[in-house]
Structure 1
Amino acid sequence: MIQVHSWPTPNGHKVHVMLEECGLRLGRDWQVHAVNIGQGDQFQPEFLKISPNNKIPALVDPNGPDGKPISLFESGAILLYLAAKTGKFLPSSDRAKFKVLEWLMFQMGGVGPMLGQAHHFRIYAPEKIEYAVDRYTNEARRLYGVMNKQLENHKYIAGNQYTIADIAIFPWLRSWQNQGIDWADYPHLKQWFDAIAARPAVQRGVAVLADARKPLTDNKSRDILFGKTQYEKR
């Protein structure tokens, strides 16, 4: 059974959704192990063995490509692994595959980091720095605009097939309000978002561990996630 070490964040939900979309069911084909990042579980030696960057999610498959166990960190790598393992959500032709990969890289290099910074400076930073708030809010809006433009003539992010590019991007947009977004400005993206949100496997995926996550209000959790604890040598 596949073991997933995760927390209900956008990057965690990518993998939860992908597993469910691939026909793998929680409790039957895969298990989830909560890594409470607000309490510092990500710094435990056992977790660092499979995720040396101390980030969730991480996956352990006892039946890897050669029949031997394999562990993976980085959500994008995990999506690619599961697509290869199941033969789903990544086209076989080189042309179509590379279109998907470019949008997956768009998420990994742009959507995730920039929206994450928007969350941080708009919500979590101990002081509101106008320059930072404006910079990352504007970048969030720019990225939404890129995706909205792409979806003017495509059903899905990378074309007319539902792929790992959609699965990677969708969880990050669920916090659109925290990013300073008005959906009225992005009608094509909103239509796509609603269609993805309605998929049963997506609904199952984003429900995984959802009850475990609590609002970040205490100073200890803030220090673990954003302060000196994050940068200690291990």
Structure 2
Amino acid sequence: MKYCLLFLSFIVMLSGCNNKATSYFTTSNLASSFISIEADKDYTLQTGKGAVIKIAKGSFNTNGNEKIQLELKEAYSMQDILLAGLSTESNGAPLQSGGMIYINAKVEGRQLELLKPIAVSLPASVYDEQMQLFKGEIKADSSINWINPQPLDTSPVAKNISLGKYLYRSNCASCHKIFSLYTAGPMAGTSDRIPNREWLYKFIHNPAKMIATDPYAHKLYQQYQPT
């Protein structure tokens, strides 16, 4: 069984913060990134490594509309996990990790507590319904025990989004970006630039044949072909 491991530091801090927990992440080989947000606004954030974090206004125990600094650490590859010395065990049983993320929230050095749930989507090459979400509990020796497994969102919408990400990364990302020109045109707005959906299906199924026989496909090829 595969698992998706998620570590949210401020959830752990609700039950108590200690120096060992802080030093464990400070001395890791995972680089921190920082994002500033305002307490009274809703945010959908994308991290440098591809995680998407949705934070509703009033999610933290701030004093009014304070500016919150989020610290993020991400480990999605086995190389990142091993270099950081992160454990992948749950009560002594080994886990296969689908990725870990550390999120810490402060205002001018003051530690914040989480008042509302936040939503976090981790990048994964393949969506697996058997993956579960774990909470990281720091032990006395500073290692992490992953506890309280919860099922992932397996709604049809979540499945379709995950499948779309997989198809894009495996079949489209080498030539297309979502919103800007790359080797070919942007993915966004494709339906407005093609004759019809059937044309798109034919082009995806056999682009070489379409370029050779369809005038519009040939025009697109001439426009975007490498020089």
TM-score, length basis structure 1: 0.28
Q: Which has the higher contact order (CA 8 A, sep 6+)?
A: 1
Select the structure that is richer in helix. Answer: 1
TM-score normalised over the length of structure 2: 0.29
